[in-house]
Structure 1
Amino acid sequence: MSTMSAVGRVALREMRTRFTAKATIISTVILMVLIIGAIVALSIITSRPATSLEVGVAGETAELSASLEQAATSQSSSLDLHTGLSAEEGRRQVLGGEIEAFISGDPTAPQVAFDGDPDQTIMELVSAAVRSHALAEAISAAGGDPKQVLAQAATAAPTTVNLSAEQAVADLNPIQIITTLATISLLLFALIQSASMVAVGVVEEKSSRVVEILLATIRPIQLLTGKVIGVGVVALSQVVAMIAAALITAKATGVLDGFEFDLGGAIGMLALWFLLGFAIYVVLVGGLAALVSRQEDIGAVTTPMVFGMMIPFYLGIYLVPNAPDSLATRVLSQVPFFSPFMMPVRTATGVVETWEVLLSVALCLLFIPFLMWIGGRVYGRAVLNTGGRMKLSAALKG
């Protein structure tokens, strides 16, 4: 039997087993429901209409109305003024809940009435309006044009100069960054899920002695490769299903309307780094899982690999957005174990050069055969060991 044929048969067998497993189906459905629910909840929160501030103004304070509206506009607040109210009517409407506040008295020193504690947003608007009105009055008294002076004052503002060579977090595209962080989170989930599938499958075959029958016809490296490919297809299918559910829900709810980002690029980046990350991490998990013979011992050999995934994941979340072009970030993003999590975030920041991405991918591709050799060596020498846990050094030395 040729190598390709043997690997293909093992991969197909693994896919049939995993696709029909209840655990795979249930976990995928639950995650899709959670993703859909989160997007729907986000759309409900973001689609809520802005609440308008209902404020009453007494007849003697009507001069303040224009300044109040200008202050509301400058602070992006929605304001609905009820003008010309008498003192008695204004207080009645406040106590009856028809308006939130009633402004009366001298426009330069008004009284603001509330039913209970003062609303800070309204007080900020009134304070800004009073200052603006008082300034306009002073300008008029001095013989100037209040509109011209206030217009010049509104446009007077300082400009900032960033002397740092590094891009600030505030300067990044928030949608692009959020999408990328969601992407590497999916990548982490897919890798951990895949590693668990491979590890459990290896130990199950080893403990049931099925592996002895399989190795009578194919080589250990062919069995491990086929198993990794089969599980990889299942994991990638889960990720595709979740992305499809997210995109369909986002399109139906309109949660992404008005935002511009390269969705196709984000999906392509996920596929690229998923395949590279899968080949880097999961093939090693298969070899390490062969060191034990019981399901209870899987965690002892796979936990270090899981922590090995978490470290670059957290660096991708916290280090890269804050220092995307620092020396440490540039160097670590080229290391194969770190690249799948750090390079996508660096790409989203817009500071990475094309040659850096190509170099990172090339280093991963050069490193993968070496990892497959190590994983296959450990698997081949440990999978037939039916005693206690085999030491990694013993499996490597043979």
Structure 2
Amino acid sequence: MGERHIGVVERRARLALRHGLAAGAGAAGPEEVADRLVALHGSDPTTVFLGVGARLTDPAQAVSATERALYEDRTLVRMHGMRDTVFVFPAALTAVVHASTGLAVAARARAKLVRDMAAAGAPDAAWLKEVEESALAALARRGQATAAELAEDEPRLRERFAYAPGKSYEGVHTVSSRLLRLLGVEGKVVRGRPLGSWTSTQFRWALAPAHRELDVADAQRELLGRWLAVCGPATEADLKWWTGWRAAEVRRALEALGARPVSLDEGTGYVVAGDAEPVTAPERPWAALLPALDPTAMGWQQRDWYLAPGLRPALFDRSGNVGPTVWWNGRVVGGWAQRPDGEIVWRLLDAEGLGREAETAVAERAELLRRALGGTRVTPRFRTPLERELAA
């Protein structure tokens, strides 16, 4: 018996139900959203809050509930993860992420920092380690602190060194900016409460919560299994891209999982054991307005099954970051933005098969988002052509 084929319609049904976007599939709180999705992109702080709000049964609670989870209950943690990118994870998953992904990234990051400092004639690795230990001790005393506040306790954090002299991208780095980022990748510190509101990109730092040390292969198996259960089926290319691992590591984790191969339009995909049975589409059609960098829009490397290639120039920036997207029944059909007066505006770019029902549903989601934002103005950190045009 050959591999079962999972077509586009079923893949969209899985996405709708498992990502909490279909009518009636909403979550009760941000912890449930993060657990379903495995990770929320955190490079742009607003993505976390807007992504949670798009999946809550009560979107108006997104900001207060997510702030509580991040900064009071600490049930969610903002830290470096796959592809050396900042994400928000369920606290229970931090050890898995650190072992499966963070250790290898951290080793490369520390070696690079030592090389960069040596090339600039800056102090050596022993000096850097001494500064690191002093900064961590200061952070333990303060609880949370900005880089500037830590430099009051450890002035060597203010030291500067030239980076890539003679190159087109040369610049001057401070020890604090590079070291604190490195400590974040190493799982020693995490980003705490921002200096401003929930839209702020300036964060305080805090010591990372203690977590158990895991075997790398075991952690990779667990992380891949969690993601496949939410985003499967996925190709090996999808898995390699999402994790940032080597192909050999992806294959080892798939084998350890006992993942089942299935047939997709673009080739062979994989699902976790027991997940190859057909999934029925939601009873009612659904619409969603997802933020820039949302984990659903960015979840797969091969995206033609939910995003027509012709839409990409308008919806992505030059670095491959997706902007705010409008969804209808499992596919991206347009984009949205917020104007200076707070109005949510949107445009359909792929209206094939869409009628009045779709436009009405999108308009309703836009109004819900406007109400949830209230007087807050949101501008994506990575701006895309359509978002800029609509926001003007």
TM bucket by the smaller chain? under 0.3
Given the two structures, how large is their TM-score scaled by the length of structure 1? 0.19
- Structure with the larger strand share: 2
Q: Which has the higher helix share?
A: 1
TM-score, normalised on structure 2? 0.19
Larger radius of gyration: 1
